[in-house]
């Protein structure tokens, strides 16, 4: 930012370059991006490099107009354009030129009464002229704003060294005084070696309708000092490093934003999918409840409680670690048994081989196990091997009532089916019910976590990398969100997860880094 000296209390506010940038931001004629000053030094000094009159006036005219609107004196030094051409451009921008000129707020000059007022160009003489002009302007106006067309140099032919010296001294003058300047260079007329030094001596550049902080800027003391080559090497190397760091940071931000967008999209899909079934239940029983049916009223209440649970769980998956979690001691054995009992009836067996308790929200643990159990029961049992292995991942049903066809069931409990633990039997094969080849699901311990596995046809190694992605499903009726929810919930807790093959050839989901009580 502009490095203005500190002012006494009650002193006049000093004009800074931010005002000039704001003029370009608010101008419809200037259509490009404008980099903010932030913590960059500006020295209240802009260089405009243009290739056409339209491009020139798109920056210079708003710059001057804003000064007039702010109560500043505006000085325009014309050379490439005539006095009338400049005034006409201001009129087209709705500037009351006649009143501004008559009052003295707007003054137009040539090189003869500015840069070469003593017959030839002298950097020190021009700096003294501007210092006096700022002092006189400050007596009546808020500040002095200068815009100069630099093509005057070609008529007088001063040395390039004098021109660059002047630009460097201007960087030293303006931060100390109440003024800002816009130096205008026609790229088609100035040789490249001159423009190169112009770029190096201006902290901020305007080119192609874009305002940029100049990473190639060289402070005057370095530009004119004996160690300039060494400083230039340092600047080039630092610029390369800064550009690399900025590129990496931008890439990481883009990736983080994409992950956030993916998470929100997945959240919206899961929310719609999860809420549909309990809402339907509530709608079906609401009329009976209104007529005094207590059982129907309980079903409606249960469905509404389910919706509230789902909303809380969905918020966790959407916001991740930003949301506080009500961590309690949750018995894996009890949670698994309760979830199992609520699954839709069918041939299946549960074996629990753990007595551990995890530190987590009980609702989250229930939803986690429910998704894993349903995935195993619905897609891991009786199909022929070639078909079942592809069908082992549906991942789209996370509610506790509907079956695989997403239909609505009421009062269907599985408490008459086998729900056992390892202390009762080590062989689940003898306990499969309903006369079918039901799936056996096992919950057990790992050194730093637990696992859930089944003896179905498993998940082929080729798709294990993608089964947790939203939308992945081998079932045309599924929306592919069950295991996505599992992954997001586990990531929220900071656990690690993996999918592999159980000893029986089925799917095995492993969770590590779990916080146990």
338 and 317, same domain (yes or no): no
The total number of structural domains that make up the chain: 3
Same domain, 204 and 80: yes
Whether 394 and 506 map to the same domain: the answer is yes
Residue 428 backbone zone (phi > 0: left; psi -120 to 50: alpha; other: beta): alpha
d(CA 517, CA 506): 30
439-469 per-position pLDDT tens digit: 899 999 999 999 999 998 888 888 887 777 7
Q: Are residues 317 and 356 in the same domain?
A: no
Taking the complete model, does pTM exceed 0.85, yes or no? no
User: Residues 79, 35: one domain?
Assistant: yes
If asked whether residues 300 and 333 sit together in one domain, one would say no
Q: Give yes or no: residues 193 and 292 share one domain.
A: no
For residue 98, the model assigns a pLDDT of 95
Query: In terms of C-beta density within 10 A (0-12 exposed, 13-18 middle, 19 or more buried), how is residue 358 classed?
Result: buried
368 within a domain of the structure (yes/no): yes
Indicate whether 52 belongs to any domain: yes
The answer to whether residue 423 scores a pLDDT higher than 80 is: no
Q: 330 falls in which pLDDT band (50, 70, 90)?
A: very high
CA distance to 247, 310, 362, 399, 485, per residue, from 367 (Å) = 40, 9, 9, 8, 9
- Residue 464 within a domain: yes
pLDDT of 23 reads 57
Considering the domain architecture, whether residues 362 and 453 belong to the same structural domain is answered as yes
> Does residue 199 fall inside a structural domain?
yes
Looking at residue 376, its pLDDT comes to 86
CA atoms within 13 A on the CB side of 272: 7
Residue 347: CATH number of its domain? 3.30.565.10
Burial classification of residue 367, based on how many CB atoms lie within 10 Å of its CB (0-12 exposed, 13-18 middle, 19 or more buried):
buried
Are both 356 and 266 inside the same structural domain? no
Same domain, 210 and 315: no
Tell me the three state secondary structure of residue 79.
Answer: coil
Among 179, 198, 225, give the residue marking a domain's end: 225
Per the structure, the complete domain to which residue 308 belongs is given by 261-321
d(CA 452, CA 17): 64
* Residue 374 shares a structural domain with residue 497: yes
CATH number at residue 169: 3.40.50.300
């Amino acid at each position: 930012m502009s490095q203005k000296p500190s002012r006494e209390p009650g002193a006049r506010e000093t004009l800074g370059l931010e005002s000039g940038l704001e003029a370009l931001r608010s101008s419809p004629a200037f259509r490009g991006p404008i980099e903010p000053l932030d913590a960059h030094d500006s020295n209240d000094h802009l260089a405009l490099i243009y290739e056409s009159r339209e491009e020139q006036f798109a920056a210079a005219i708003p710059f001057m107009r804003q000064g007039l609107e702010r109560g500043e004196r505006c000085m325009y030094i014309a050379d490439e354009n005539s006095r009338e051409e400049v005034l006409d451009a201001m009129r087209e921008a709705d500037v009351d030129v006649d009143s501004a000129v008559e009052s003295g707020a707007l003054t137009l000059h040539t090189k003869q009464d500015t840069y070469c007022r003593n017959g030839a160009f002298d950097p020190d003489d021009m700096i003294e002229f501007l210092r006096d002009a700022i002092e006189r302007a400050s007596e009546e106006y808020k500040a002095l704003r200068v815009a100069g067309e630099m093509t005057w140099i070609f008529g007088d032919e001063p040395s390039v060294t004098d021109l660059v010296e002047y630009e460097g001294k201007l960087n030293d003058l303006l931060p100390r005084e109440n003024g800002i300047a816009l130096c205008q260079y026609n790229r088609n007329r100035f040789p490249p070696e001159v423009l190169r030094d112009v770029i190096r001596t201006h902290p901020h550049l305007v080119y192609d309708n874009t305002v940029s902080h100049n990473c190639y800027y060289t402070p005057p003391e370095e530009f004119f000092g004996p160690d300039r080559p060494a400083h230039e090497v340092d600047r080039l190397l630092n610029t390369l490093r800064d550009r690399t760091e900025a590129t990496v940071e931008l890439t990481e931000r883009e990736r983080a934003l994409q992950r956030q967008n993916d998470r929100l999209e997945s959240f919206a899909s899961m929310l719609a999918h999860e809420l549909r079934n309990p809402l339907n239940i509530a709608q079906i029983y609401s009329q009976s409840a209104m007529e005094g049916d207590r059982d129907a009223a309980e079903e409606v209440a249960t469905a509404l409680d389910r919706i509230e649970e789902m909303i809380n769980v969905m918020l966790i998956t959407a916001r991740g670690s930003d949301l506080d979690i009500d961590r309690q001691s949750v018995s894996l054995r009890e949670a698994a048994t309760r979830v199992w009992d609520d699954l839709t009836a069918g041939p299946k067996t549960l074996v629990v081989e753990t007595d551990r308790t995890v530190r987590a929200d009980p609702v989250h643990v229930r939803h986690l196990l429910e998704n894993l159990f349903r995935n195993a029961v619905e897609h891991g049992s009786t199909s022929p091997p070639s078909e079942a292995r592809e069908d082992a991942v549906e991942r789209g049903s996370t509610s506790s009532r509907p079956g695989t066809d997403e239909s609505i069931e009421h009062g269907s409990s599985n408490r008459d089916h086998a729900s056992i633990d390892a202390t009762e039997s080590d062989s689940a094969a003898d306990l499969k019910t309903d006369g079918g080849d039901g799936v056996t699901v096992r919950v057990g311990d790992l050194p730093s976590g637990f696992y859930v596995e089944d003896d179905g046809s498993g998940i082929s190694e080729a798709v294990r990398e993608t089964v947790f992605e939203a939308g992945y499903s081998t079932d045309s009726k599924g929306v592919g969100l069950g295991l996505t929810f599992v992954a997001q919930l586990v990531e929220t807790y900071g656990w690690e997860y993996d999918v592999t093959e159980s000893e029986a050839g089925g799917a095995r989901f492993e969770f590590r880094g779990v916080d146990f009580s």
